[in-house]
């Protein structure tokens, strides 16, 4: 195994540079994920208002099944673990359903529905 230290306990500058370069890329990706999630939640908030207004149930299991099937296939072709993709989608959808329920409760309790 190669060592990443230079004998004085410091990390080799070349390794430090490579790590910094990779972390810059990770930071950019994390920022993109946050922005994409923010856009997704803006859209699902509108869905929540629409469902509350028309007395539709917060969850739609048939739609979720189609989304999971689609995302698993996309993950496979992108060489991402499909089980992870499914878990991630379920995690997001659970939060969306919580928001929908809150919006519906607010609508029932009078007044105009609010977000979160
Ligand atoms: O498409 C809907 O009906 C939504 O409410 C959005 C969404 C999602 O986050 O993708 C959330 C809850 C439903 O069970 C299905 C999908």
Rounded to whole angstroms, how far apart are CA atoms 84 and 87?
5
Tell me if 63 CB under 6 Å of ligand 1. Answer: yes
Nearest CA to ligand 1 atom 7: 93
Ligand 1, residues 39, 58, 59: which to mutate, most atoms within 8 A of Cβ?
Answer: 59
- Which ipTM was obtained for this model? 0.99
pLDDT (average), residues 72-84:
98
- And the tokens for 76? 């496979």
According to the model, what pLDDT value does residue 110 have?
Answer: 82
Q: 13-108, what's its fold?
A: Chorismate Mutase Domain, subunit A (1.20.59)
98 CA to centre of ligand 1 in angstroms: 11
pLDDT at 116 over 90: no
Mean pLDDT across the chain: 93
CB contact at 8 A, 58 and 52: no
């Amino acid at each position: 195994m190669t060592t990443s230290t230079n004998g004085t306990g410091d990390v080799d500058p070349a390794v430090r540079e490579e790590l910094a370069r990779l972390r810059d890329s990770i930071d950019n990706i994390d920022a993109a994920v946050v922005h994409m999630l923010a856009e997704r939640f803006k859209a699902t908030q509108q869905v929540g208002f629409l469902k509350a207004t028309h007395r539709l149930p917060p969850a739609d299991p048939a739609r979720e099944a189609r989304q999971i099937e689609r995302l698993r296939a996309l993950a496979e072709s992108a060489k991402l673990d499909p089980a992870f993709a499914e878990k991630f989608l379920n995690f997001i959808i659970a939060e969306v359903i919580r928001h929908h329920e809150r919006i519906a409760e607010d609508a029932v309790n009078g007044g105009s529905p609010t977000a979160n």
